[in-house]
Amino acid sequence: MRIAALQMSATAGDPAANLARIIAAAERAASHGAELLVAPELALPGYGAGPAMTALAEAADGPAAKRLAGLAEATGMAIIAGFAERDGDAVFNSALFVAPGGERHVYRKSHLYGAYERELFAAAPPAAVTLDFGGLKLGMLICYDVEFPENMRRLALAGAQAVLVPTALPAGDYAAFIARQMVPVRAFENQVFVAYVNHCGADPLFAYAGLSGVASPDGRLLAAAEADKALLLFADLDPAAYAASAAANSYLTDLRASS
């Protein structure tokens, strides 16, 4: 399956502008044969929307979700995008998966990062959200979630072959280590693909590290972005191409055998 990862410079607090960026990226990705587009964490409202986030939050079947579902139908490809999800009085930092034919899945972030997120969002219980698409079993996490090995292992044990991670990794001393070393290790130790898809640029509250990438089960990067440029990355995910890696690094098989 070919995926497209959108490293995006979002406008904080302007869902219409950000949706337009996703639409343009989806159209381009579809023209390059992609079956799935992944956009960053809170791509629709913009991660740095701040106190406006509560007002921008929508239900998982709200107007933004319907627009994304329509885009999936129009382009013939699936889309994952981060949004602020309202469920009653609670607001979650969520990722929405939509596919042609109307299939939808929502993942809610379980590990909130810093005071900013904890003031805006409710934390969801850790969960293994998986779905079948394009001949693969996919899992979803959001940003900080992937830095906890338990979350990745939970998905791998549930059968995920690729984990898609919308992200808002800030620029900082550890950003390159997380994006270029930790994420590939997560892929290697679980023998899965990991698509880590970040913002770039800055908004009034945050500067972002960029450094989006798609890691393969053998720990290599199939595609990688620099820090400061909005762009589309493309990667082809074929688990059969990594059979030798899975045989040589049989962590999951050995873990099951010892438990």
Catalytic machinery residues = 41, 109, 143
* C-alpha to C-alpha distance for 50 and 64, rounded to whole angstroms: 19
- The token pair at 106 is 């929502």
Q: Of all helices (H) and strands (E), which one includes residue 140?
A: strand 136-140
Strand partners, 60: none
Among candidate residues 170, 168, 173, 125, the one with its CA nearest the CA of residue 150 = 125
* C-alpha to C-alpha distance for 148 and 154, rounded to whole angstroms: 10
Strand partners, 138: 131, 162
Residue 147 one-letter amino acid:
E
3-state secondary structure of 110: coil
Angstrom distances, CA of residue 18 to CA of 9, 68, 91, 144? 9, 12, 20, 22
Q: What DSSP character marks residue 167? A: -
